């Protein structure tokens, strides 16, 4: 009899190992060479993130969080160790190949939004699709869908200067989603936002995660980390704690208790 179970996500690539881990790192090290000195930013990091997880990454300034996220996001390569993305070892891929993989599999959100100034919300959202083969109609359709997902359908024609910080960050999230990645990575996505707006952004992450998206985000704020399902704490380039969050709050519920700007 034929199986009635349909795979929700694409099959792993040839050569991939059977595992539920979307991300698996083994003994990662990262050195930055600075003239005479050498910074050892990651000192043997091993961990896995399974499909559907929502992980918060915490730790003091300089502990290696961004270095780690940049490797996960294929923005940089480890000096030593292995990184398996959906079962495929990408540790030694060249920059160009990594860029292709990133565009296809990973959405990345930065603290500073990084939107193009003279470009509308819709056009900003469309940017990552320019490196894919989809046609213009599909491009617009996907960008509108992504803006809808973040509650900004009515701001498609606005320029970044015509939007609040929270709205700009939502455009950045829409842009990260437009190629339908399997992982969303965010490095201090709420770092420039006030507390209510931060929870609004986390509400979007929780909704996306409940829809099946794997999410990992760096945050300095303990309160924000508690919205994730799991918290990793970095210290001196290593993971010092790795714990599940008990009784995590629902951002949508917390929002009801927070004053709005009009109040």
Ligand X SMILES: Nc1ncnc2c1ncn2[C@@H]1O[C@H](COP(=O)(O)OP(=O)(O)OP(=O)(O)O)[C@@H](O)[C@H]1O
Residue 78 binds which one of Mg ion, ligand X, none, with CB within 5 to 8 A depending on kind? none
- The nearer residue to ligand X, 32 or 131, going by C-beta atoms, is 32
Query: Of the candidates 66, 129, 197, 206, which one interacts with Mg ion according to CB under 5 A?
Result: 66
Residue 209 binds which one of ligand X, Mg ion, none, with CB within 5 to 8 A depending on kind? none
Q: How far is CA 167 from CA 119, 150, 204, 208, 250, in A?
A: 14, 9, 12, 17, 21
Cβ atoms of 41 and 31 within 8 Å: the answer is yes
Only segment of 43-51, 63-71, 156-164, 165-173 that touches Mg ion (CB under 5 A): 63-71
What lies within 8 Å, CB to CB, of 29 at 6+ separation is 40, 42, 43, 44, 45, 78, 79, 80, 81
Q: Does 64 bind ligand X (CB under 6 A)?
A: yes
Q: Does 61 bind ligand X (CB under 6 A)?
A: yes
Q: Does 63 bind ligand X (CB under 6 A)?
A: yes
Cβ atoms of 106 and 73 within 8 Å: the answer is yes
Residue 67 binds which one of ligand X, Mg ion, none, with CB within 5 to 8 A depending on kind? ligand X
Half-sphere exposure at residue 64, Cβ-oriented, CA atoms within 13 angstroms? 25
Token duo for residue 201? 């952004």
Query: Of the candidates 18, 34, 246, 261, which one interacts with ligand X according to CB under 6 A?
Result: 34
Give the integer Cα–Cα distance in Å for 70 and 108.
9
Q: Does 62 bind ligand X (CB under 6 A)?
A: yes
Q: Does 32 bind ligand X (CB under 6 A)?
A: yes
Q: How far is the CB of 92 from ligand X (least distance, A)?
A: 20
Smallest CA-to-CA distance from 174 within 91, 166, 225 is with 166
Q: Does 39 bind ligand X (CB under 6 A)?
A: yes
Only segment of 3-11, 38-46, 58-66, 80-88 that touches Mg ion (CB under 5 A): 58-66
Only segment of 7-15, 61-69, 96-104, 234-242 that touches Mg ion (CB under 5 A): 61-69
- The nearer residue to Mg ion, 66 or 190, going by C-beta atoms, is 66
* Site size with Mg ion, rule: CB under 5 A: 1
Query: Of the candidates 22, 28, 45, 67, which one interacts with ligand X according to CB under 6 A?
Result: 67
Q: How far is CA 121 from CA 104, 125, 199, in A?
A: 21, 6, 21
Give the integer Cα–Cα distance in Å for 242 and 245.
10
Q: Is 56 helix (H, G, I), strand (E, B) or coil?
A: strand
Only segment of 58-66, 155-163, 196-204, 209-217 that touches ligand X (CB under 6 A): 58-66
Angle at 20 between CA 16 and CA 23, to 5 degrees: 75
Give the footprint of ligand X on this chain (CB under 6 A).
32, 34, 39, 41, 59, 61-67
């Amino acid at each position: 009899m034929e199986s009635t179970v349909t795979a929700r996500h694409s099959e792993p690539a040839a050569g991939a190992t059977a595992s539920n881990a979307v991300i698996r790192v083994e003994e990662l090290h990262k050195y930055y060479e600075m003239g005479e000195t050498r910074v050892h930013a990651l000192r043997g990091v091993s961990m896995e993130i399974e499909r559907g997880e929502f992980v918060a990454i915490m730790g003091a300034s300089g502990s290696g969080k961004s270095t780690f996220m940049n490797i996960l996001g294929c923005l940089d390569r480890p000096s030593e160790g292995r990184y398996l993305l959906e079962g495929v070892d990408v540790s030694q891929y060249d920059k160009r190949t990594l860029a292709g993989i990133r565009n296809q599999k990973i959405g990345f959100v930065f603290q500073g939004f990084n939107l193009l100034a003279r470009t509308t919300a819709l056009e900003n959202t469309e940017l990552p699709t320019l490196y894919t083969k989809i046609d213009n109609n599909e491009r617009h359709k996907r960008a509108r869908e992504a803006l809808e997902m973040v509650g900004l359908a009515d701001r498609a024609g606005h320029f970044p200067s015509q939007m609040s910080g929270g709205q700009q960050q939502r455009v950045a999230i829409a842009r990260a989603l437009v190629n339908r990645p399997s992982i969303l990575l965010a490095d201090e996505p709420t770092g420039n936002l006030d507390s209510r707006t931060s929870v609004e952004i986390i509400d979007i992450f929780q909704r996306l995660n409940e829809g099946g998206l794997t999410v990992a985000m760096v945050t300095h704020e303990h309160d924000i980390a508690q919205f994730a399902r799991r918290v990793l704490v970095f210290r001196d380039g290593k993971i010092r704690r790795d714990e599940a969050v008990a009784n995590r709050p629902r951002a949508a519920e917390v929002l009801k208790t927070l004053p709005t700007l009009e109040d």
